[in-house]
Amino acid sequence: MTDKQLEQYLLQSLNMALGSQIQGETSYTQSFDCKVGEKGFLFIPRLPSGYVIDNELYQTIFLIANAALYPRYTLLKQNSAYFVPFETDDIHTQRGLYFPWIKGISKRLVISDLEQFANSNLGTTIPIMENLVIDYEKVTSIAIAGNSGSGKSYALTYFLSMLKPISDLIVIDPKFDTPSRWARFNDIKVIHPEQNRSKSDFVSQINEELSDCLQLIYKRQELLYDNPEHKFTHLTVVIDEVLALSEGTNKNIKESFFSLLSQIALLGRATKVHLLLVSQRFDYNSIPVSVREQLNVLLQIGNINSKTVQFFFPDLNPDGIVIPVGMGTGLIMVIDNEHPYAVLPLLCPTYYTKKGIL
């Protein structure tokens, strides 16, 4: 399909579906036009118009166009109307609504041997889907959220396996479950609860480990001061079910835990110290707001609605985003200078690993 044919198709879809929202005005009466580009399309209204050009109209056009373009293109959901100016002397058409897209749809990776795949020569990149790869050099911290049974542990095991060749790991597992078994199979340090030990004592041990990480950050900062090009080995602190640590813990110990997390999240990027956090939800009881603001790879797995996305994507209305049905599906946002600043449908990789881990 040529760009011209695609423009005509979009115009026909909008003319038929907008209906009374723009009071009968159509492209046939030159009330608006569409232009297709490489990275998205433009809705160009002709002003003055008999309809209001606002966020409500923008989101309505998104719903129409996203369904019409699926599966050739995936529109990137915006939090509000995306206006762009045109270089033209005609004041009637000097602005338009822009709808960015990516070609195709999200496709799940299927990996026959996870260990072999992780040890293949991928550098510091971590494939998430067939059309989405992240570079760990540009990652500050990762968070995985989702309701019980959504596939968080399965996704975490994938990240642990992919990080092992490129990063030192410290695994903290309050549930003494899948991450502990994975760490045992892979000879990785893990902190988990033990019998006859209080919750506060367990979190105190975690605080000591986090304090050591913070001291490492300070030492690395001194090295960077003398040599800004110094290369460090990545270190990732992995915490499963963060909410289980912060709830029911002594207030002073919890405040220390939050303070250490915040400092690592804020200072760790330049020194290659990262957080990988997993929780059913990431409200203020789970982690400090300052930590949440430093997360730049966000995965929301499982049930997607306005309530479940409120902590990762507070301004997002998920209506209209096509999310495939199945385990390990949801939304992902990667905040860096390579990927579009938008939420994408997520399909976590399917893989096979050693018996007894999951």
Q: Is 106 annotated as a binding residue?
A: no
Under a CB-based contact definition with an 8 Å cutoff, are residues 35 and 67 in contact? no
Report angle CA 150, 210, 170 to the nearest 5 degrees: 55
**CA geometry: angle at 167 spanning 164 and 172, to 5°?**
75
d(CA 219, CA 235) in angstroms, rounded, equals: 14
CA dihedral 225, 231, 233, 239 (to 10 degrees): 60
Distance, CA of 3 to CA of 8 (rounded, Å): 9
Cα 244 from Cα 177, distance rounded (Å): 13
Question: DSSP secondary-structure letter at 351?
Answer: E
Give just the sign of the alpha carbon dihedral 45, 47, 52, 55: positive
Any known ligand binding at 153?
A: yes
CB 109 within 8 A of CB 126: no
Question: Is 149 labelled as part of a ligand binding site?
Answer: yes
Determine whether the annotation assigns residue 152 to a binding site: yes
φ/ψ of residue 225, rounded to 5:
-60, -40
Query: What single-letter amino acid sits at 42?
Result: L
Check the annotation: does 147 bind a ligand: yes
Q: Is 259 annotated as a binding residue?
A: no
Flag whether 151 is marked binding: yes
Q: How far apart are CA 149 and CA 8, in angstroms?
A: 44
Which residue, among 23, 30, 238, 72, has the nearest Cα to 143 in the 3D structure?
238
Q: Is the CA virtual torsion 151, 173, 188, 284 positive or negative?
A: positive
Longest dimension (CA), the chain: 78
Ligand-binding annotation for 286, yes or no, is no
Amino acid, single-letter form, for residue 25: E
Residues making up the binding site for ATP: 146-153
Residues making up the binding site: 146-153
